[in-house]
Amino acid sequence: MSEAALISSRRIVAFSAIVETATGVALMIAPAVVSALLVRAEISGLALLLGRCMGVSLVALGLACWPEQQRAQPGPAALRAVFTYNALIALLLGYVGTVLQLGGPLLWPAVTLHGAVVLLLAWARLRTPPGT
């Protein structure tokens, strides 16, 4: 990867790691609040447990992709994980908003944010010379 692409990929992955870790902590602490902000739905019982489980998963993803102190490029596994997660969650949340007609004040900003991370990672990869 070129130095410019490394910096971009590193920053994108770091940004995503921070956002996903924060979202995961919020889900572990208050899944009902996060749900209300995303889809204006009340959750209880098993949904609260599943929301907290998703929070644990997001914290794990965020920590796995957390930036190192040295200026090394993120590994290919971290890039794949962040790209895959952001692409799939953008599609899922877009589906929730358009097909299921659910949406809170943070739904479309979340779709936009996740979609932007996907596009930025794809752009950084396309700027990288083959074989690097």
List, as one string, the DSSP characters of 48-91: HHHHHHHHHHHHHHHHHTPPPSS-PPPPHHHHHHHHHHHHHHHH
Give tens-digit pLDDT for 88-110: 999 999 999 999 998 899 999 99
**pLDDT at res. 52:** 95
> Distance between CA 51 and CA 25 in Å, rounded?
11
Give tens-digit pLDDT for 1-41: 555 555 578 889 999 999 999 999 999 999 999 999 999 88
Confidence of residue 132 (pLDDT cuts 50, 70, 90): low
